[in-house]
Amino acid sequence: CSCCAVETERTLAMIKPDGLSGNYTEKIKVAILDYGFHIVKETEVQLDDERASLFYAEHSGRSFFGSLIKYITSGPVLAMVLERPDAIAQWRALIGPTDARKAKTSHPNSIRAMCGLDSEKNCVHGSDSPESAAREISFFFGDGLETVEHDEL
Ligand code: RTP
Ligand code: MG
């Protein structure tokens, strides 16, 4: 940490299957770049049930878990590492609330307002904390050892 430089931060963004199949990728990327993010890396992958359950392990006890896994494995996702100062909070601000119906009324300029449908099919994901960001970046771009913490992230 130096005295005057604004520290950059990285977060994990993911365009979910409905975002990809709805051809929203380019619009979402324009919004990302307009918001001052740098797209550091990206990878398009098809998650299977096992990988999806690992990614969303924190929700494994929730009533919507089965439906969530079916949704997120219904087609490929595009995972991206985004970088800018305060990236985690800024990306969640740009995507808007979880429920895309609420996003359309309360956050009309958000990404979920643009391409989401409801509280499940909300077209994008964003890490919710520095710990989640490190784990999720490692999940898609690391060495496959998802539980290992990478200090350099
Ligand atoms: P995300 O993790 O995808 O960025 O979304 P989030 O933080 O806004 O929402 P979270 O509570 O972490 O939920 C993860 C994803 O599960 C689906 N979900 N379905 N049917 C439901 O009530 C429900 N609630 C959540 C959504 O796809 C949500 O993004
Ligand atoms: Mg979440």
Euclidean distance between CA atoms 88 and 69, whole angstroms: 24
Q: State the DSSP H helix or E strand holding residue 125, giving kind and residue range, or none if neither.
A: strand 124-126
Ligand nearest to the CA of 52: 1
Read off the pLDDT band of 6 (50, 70, 90): confident
Across the range 23-31, mean pLDDT stands at: 97
Predicted-assembly ipTM surpassing the 0.85 threshold: yes
Check if 122 has its Cβ closer than 6 Å to any atom of ligand 1: yes
Question: 125 an active-site residue?
Answer: yes
Residue pLDDT, tens place only, 96-153? 999 999 999 999 999 999 999 999 999 999 999 999 999 999 999 996 554 444 454 4
What separation, in Å, do the N-terminal and C-terminal C-alpha atoms of the chain show?
A: 14
pTM here is 0.91
Catalytic residue, candidates 38, 107, 125, 150: 125
The response to whether residue 119 sits with its C-beta less than 6 Å from ligand 1 reads yes
pLDDT at 5: 74
pLDDT at 149: 47
